Amino acid sequence: MSPNMNSRKYRESTVPSAQQIGLPSAMQEAMIRSRREVDLAQKCLLYIKSCITQAATLQGEQNTSSSPDRHSIFNYINPVWIPYADILGATLPADKGTEMRINRHLLLLLRVIALVKANQRYQLVFDSQTQTVAAPKDLTEALYIMHNSSGLPPYKVKFFNKVFYHLYQKKLEEQQQIASDIVIQVGPDREEEKKSSSIIQSENRKATNASAVTLTANEICDYYNLKNPQTPINSDNLRKIYLNELVSAGWIEALDVRDGNTKKVYYPIVAPLGQEEETKN
């Protein structure tokens, strides 16, 4: 997840940097970080890794004799049991493809959290495997971590909602208005002209289809600068900071204008977040 940077964070990063370079080692041990604390942190990480490895490993060797038994038939690959997995599968939002991806990430994160805390969780032992039982508090922690499920920093979500999608809707409405203004007058007995009118109107509707309306980086840049005159941006930085990551996140689609040309046009493939989320951002 990209951090949402600002001048305060830059300053808070610069201060310890100056201390690490300018202070004697003895003072750094007391003020910044000590080697004892670093060693302790490394031991904590190794302990967590050991817990995960132990929880994810079959206890005992599988029987490889010629007479197969259940140990050689079944290959256990999931060391965590989530008792409420079926409930989550039936209740998590699943109206869009992006929600399916988010749900999978949530369940995988829930499994990781349960493994990390395997020594604090109930264990289900059967045959040669020990299963870690995910607790409800593990779900609470996973939901807290996934509160910004898009993985995008808030200012990029705000850009998508307030700038990109707003401009797209504006252009879409303009195209639809142009199409609706094209009216062909035909007489009551002129069937051929009626057919032509019907065909043209059908083509106009196709032309104003959502996927046919696209935005260039320059259009988006001009609209952004209009809304943010105090912090203008050029089209190259706009692509690097916003558009490329929105494409990678699956929020917008980038299309080549023509073969052999690096210029692209963009259109959204997801709807913006709800009003409540926008207010938080």
- For residues 119-131, average pLDDT: 82
**Window from 7-11, 80-84, 208-212, 241-245 with minimum mean pLDDT:** 208-212
The pLDDT value recorded for residue 42 is 95
Round to whole Å and give the CA distance between 226 and 223.
5
Answer yes or no: is pLDDT of 274 > 60.
Answer: no
**Which range, of 102-106, 135-139, 225-229, averages the lowest pLDDT?**
102-106
pTM for the structure as a whole: 0.47
Q: By C-alpha distance, which of 125, 126, 130, 87 is closest to 107?
A: 87
Give me the pLDDT at residue 59, please.
Answer: 52
Scanning 182-270, the segments in alpha helix (DSSP H) are 191-207, 217-227, 235-238, 244-248
The pLDDT score that the predictor gives to residue 70 is 46
In the prediction, which pLDDT does 65 show? 47
What are the sequence ranges of the domains in the chain? 7-55, 75-149, 154-182+194-280
What is the pLDDT at residue 107?
Answer: 93
Domain 154-182+194-280, CATH? 1.10.10
**Strand 215-216 vs strand 252-256: parallel, antiparallel, or unpaired?**
unpaired
CA 76 to mean position of chain CA atoms: 30
pLDDT, one tens digit per residue, over 19-61 is 889 989 888 888 888 888 999 999 999 988 887 777 666 655 4
* Whole-number percent of the chain with pLDDT over 90: 27
Give the three-state DSSP class for 125.
strand
10 Å CB burial of residue 8 (0-12, 13-18, 19+) is exposed
Structure confidence by residue, pLDDT tens digits, 244-260:
989 887 788 888 877 66
Asked if residues 109 and 145 have their Cβ atoms less than 8 Å apart, the reply is: yes
Compute the distance between CA of residue 215 and CA of residue 171 in angstroms, rounded to an integer.
8
Q: In the predicted model, is pLDDT for residue 206 greater than 80?
A: no
